[in-house]
Amino acid sequence: MTVPPRPDVLVATSGGVVGTPEDLAALAERARAFAEGARAEATLRAYRSDLADYQRWCDKHGLVALPAEPYTLAAYLTDRADRLAVSTLGRRLSAIAVAHRDAGFALDLRHQVVRDTWQGIRRARGTAPRHAEALTTPVLKRLLDTCDAGRLIDLRDKALLAVGFAGAFRRSELCALNLADVVSAPEGLAIRLARSKTDQAGEGEVVPVGRTGSPYCPAAAFAAWAAAAGLRDGRAFRAVSRHGGIGPGLSTRAVAQIVQDRAERAGLDGASFSGHSLRSGFCTAAAREGIEERTIMRQSRHRSVRTFRRYVQAGSLWERNLAAEVGL
């Protein structure tokens, strides 16, 4: 007697979807992958580092990391409060909360001991973020003047600084830029961002970088770099060895290092600047020129008016000398 094959077992979900356990397991795995992709890779790297530090601290003190008791979390925050910026400590707290949620554990961040400890740290340390000095146009030109047209690394640095400033780009955006994303036109460069900090869905947007015709023209600087490096595809900004060899794409840390190194060569304090100085410098310079807010925000792709206005405030701080105007 031939036994017919056993039919697949069907499972009905609350949403009315019917499938086999294998189907549902595959869907669950895809859902997990999508959930992980909801956060930027830079955020995931930071969270992994944060959690590793938290785990080491718990192991050292013989405490359970997951699930954490409120007093454990309060003690960790207190111990790290003297060595970490408030913003970094806040990210650590977020990373620990996400880890609990992903593991199926409840973590009450509103528990009195956690809440009071965190508020006390914020009050004692202050919550105003520390900003690197802005590379305004005159300062940027001093950095660009340190770039020798005869060396490949100088051509790379000049293009990176000029394009980064004119497009108000983030470090991550510059590092992710591919040569195919840069289209040259008589008016300048049309640079397509496939994804950015404020465009996690990857819809993409085009940033115009105008041609100026001056010795500091960003479009001309990029063309000179790309031609000298013989770029055909891949990352637009690459590492350059001491002997002029072209390497892989730059890291965000490398961008910051380039800014600081050029500042030092220009006779400035390199430690006062960062990779973000290019973006903040453009916003500050544009504000000082009286360019309207919405126009600057369109170029800088700021979504938060509050964040953007920190740059505007810096740019217009000395627009008028009120002490002199009142006759002091």
Out of 72-76, 194-198, 286-290, pick the least confident: 194-198
Whether the per-residue pLDDT at 32 is higher than 90: the answer is no
- Mean pLDDT computed over every residue of the chain: 83
Instruction: Write out the catalytic residue numbers.
Output: 170, 197, 276, 279, 302, 311
User: What integer pLDDT is reported at residue 234 of this predicted model?
Assistant: 94
Q: Which two tokens stand for residue 154?
A: 């100088």
pTM of the shown model: 0.62
Whether the per-residue pLDDT at 4 is higher than 70: the answer is no
**Left if phi > 0, otherwise alpha if psi is -120 to 50, otherwise beta: which for 168?**
left
- Does CATH number 1.10.150.130 belong to domain 36-125? yes
Tens of pLDDT along 267-285? 998 888 888 899 989 998 8
Specify the CATH superfamily of domain 137-181+211-315: Intergrase catalytic core (1.10.443.10)
Q: What is the DSSP string of 216-261?
A: T-HHHHHHHHHHHHT--SSBSSEEE-TTS-EEEEPPHHHHHHHHHH
Whether the per-residue pLDDT at 28 is higher than 80: the answer is no
Domain boundaries, the chain: 36-125, 137-181+211-315
Residue labelled with tokens 């036109």? 185
Tens of pLDDT along 160-213? 999 999 999 999 999 999 999 999 999 999 999 976 555 454 567 999 999 999
